[in-house]
């Protein structure tokens, strides 16, 4: 049997993690031969609630689950971590400005970045889910100079999956017929879901859909899907977010399918004119655990404007937390 891998998960008493932890323990991430140890981080006030989740994990008697560590100390949670799912983040409280939200989360993610730097496995792969995810990932990465910046990422996979699903249903094809959609930029309402390069079956997506539908309904539906779910369900999306987090990490490990790519927030290298260093969602292919930005895609004027808008938002988020970079 293989040596267990150490998987750190923050916000372990939250609703996304409630859907994520059981799948990690069941082997949905690394397969049926890979034992895991879950290293769960929560704030002190949520420790009791997290214990309840641990009791449920025990009650599943998962054969692959070789241990659960619970703590409110990031240095314990991230000790020798091979993978870190940073899901916990402070939600916007009443009367809180956007800047306050950025700052309070910047504090949390600078502490976590330092702890990852000091105690995690040198090749740890880090996924930030907690919002504002791109900027939280930037803070964590900048506070971890020992680690390769390319080991830090944030999640736009849920937006990517939403785009795949919406395009498939609009074209009346199964989701498996859809390839090469892209989410560019910030995981926020300025994100740019782009189907200019997407394929539906054997056709270019742009030949299968009406431009008007794409520029208005499609983009807005993907951008606003999270709010639409809150409105109907009364709570934010959790199972789909957990599924996307798992798929993001699984693709990072297993690689992308031939002829396809995924969307992933990673440090910009200047590709497509985006400021280097910003955490920006790009189309990437992955091989041997390393992601590569897809190069050479044509960007028309419409796309150029959309990219500029989401980049501008990311720069303003970064400037608001400059003190912690
Ligand atoms: P959720 O589990 O619903 O969400 C966790 C985070 O994921 C939020 O920041 C949320 O952003 C974000 N998120 C990113 N993408 C999505 C998406 N597509 N759909 C929904 N959420 C998304 O939050 P809970 O409040 O249930 O749980 C958070 C837990 O984190 C709490 O138990 C809290 O105690 C803990 N926490 C831990 C910290 C730590 O470990 N240091 C620090 C702060 C909190 P958004 O709010 O914008 O929806």
Q: Please check whether residue 8 is in contact with residue 126, taking contact to mean a CB–CB distance below 8 angstroms.
A: no
Q: Which residues fall in the annotated binding site for substrate?
A: 92, 98, 131, 162
Q: Of the given ranges (187-191, 196-200, 268-272), which has the lowest mean pLDDT?
A: 187-191
pLDDT digits (tens, 9 = 90+) for 99-147: 888 999 999 999 999 999 999 999 999 999 999 999 999 999 999 999 9
CA-to-CA distance for 305 and 299, rounded, in angstroms? 10
pTM assigned to the model: 0.96
The string of DSSP codes covering 25-90 is HHTTTT-TT--EEEEEE--GGGHHHHHHHHHHHHHTT-TTEEEEEEES-HHHHTTT-SEEEE---P
Q: How far is CA 129 from CA 31, 87, 253, in A?
A: 22, 5, 18
The residues of the chain that CATH labels 3.90.110.10 are: 157-320
pLDDT for res 98: 75
The string of DSSP codes covering 158-215 is HHHHHHHHHHHHHHT--GGGEE--EEEB-SSTT-EEE-TT-EETTEEGGGTS-HHIII
> What is the predicted ipTM?
0.91
Q: Which residues pair with 287 in a beta bridge?
A: 290
Mutational test site, ligand 1, from 44, 136, 241, max ligand atoms within 8 Å of CB: 241
CATH number of 157-320: 3.90.110.10
pLDDT for res 101: 87
The residues of the chain that CATH labels 3.40.50.720 are: 5-154
Q: Please check whether residue 189 is in contact with residue 208, taking contact to mean a CB–CB distance below 8 angstroms.
A: no
Tell me how far the alpha carbon of residue 17 lies from the centroid of ligand 1, in angstroms. Answer: 9
The CATH superfamily of 5-154 is NAD(P)-binding Rossmann-like Domain (3.40.50.720)
Counting atoms of ligand 1 from 1, which one is nearest the CA of 49?
32
pLDDT digits (tens, 9 = 90+) for 2-45: 999 999 999 999 999 999 999 999 999 999 999 999 999 999 99
């Amino acid at each position: 049997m293989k040596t267990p891998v150490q998987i750190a998960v923050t916000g372990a008493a939250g609703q996304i993690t409630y859907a994520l932890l059981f799948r990690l323990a069941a082997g949905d991430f690394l397969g049926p031969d890979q034992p895991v140890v879950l290293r769960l981080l929560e704030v002190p006030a949520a420790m009791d609630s997290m214990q309840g989740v641990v009791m449920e994990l025990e009650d599943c008697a998962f054969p692959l689950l070789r241990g659960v560590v619970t703590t409110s100390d990031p240095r314990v949670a991230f000790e020798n971590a091979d993978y870190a799912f940073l899901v916990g983040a402070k939600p916007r409280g009443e009367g809180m400005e956007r800047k306050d939200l950025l700052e309070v989360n910047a504090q949390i993610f600078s502490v976590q970045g330092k702890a990852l730097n000091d105690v995690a496995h040198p090749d740890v792969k880090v996924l930030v889910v907690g919002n504002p995810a791109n900027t939280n990932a930037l803070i964590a990465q900048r506070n971890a100079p020992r680690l390769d910046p390319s080991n830090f990422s944030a999640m736009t996979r849920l937006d990517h999956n939403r785009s795949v699903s919406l395009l498939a249903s609009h074209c009346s094809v199964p989701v498996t017929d859809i390839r090469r959609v892209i989410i560019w930029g910030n995981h926020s309402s300025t994100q740019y879901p782009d189907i200019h390069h997407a394929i539906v079956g054997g056709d270019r997506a742009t030949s299968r859909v009406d431009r008007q539908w794409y520029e208005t309904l499609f983009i807005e539906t993907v951008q606003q899907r999270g709010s639409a779910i809150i409105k109907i369900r009364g709570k934010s999306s959790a199972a789909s977010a957990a599924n996307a987090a798992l798929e993001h990490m699984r693709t990072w490990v297993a690689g992308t399918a031939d002829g396809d790519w995924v969307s992933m927030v990673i440090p910009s290298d200047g590709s497509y004119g985006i400021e280097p260093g910003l955490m920006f969602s790009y189309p990437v292919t992955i091989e041997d655990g390393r992601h590569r930005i897809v190069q050479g895609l044509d960007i028309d004027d419409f796309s150029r404007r959309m990219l500029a808008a989401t980049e501008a938002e990311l720069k303003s988020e970064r400037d608001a937390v400059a003190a912690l970079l």
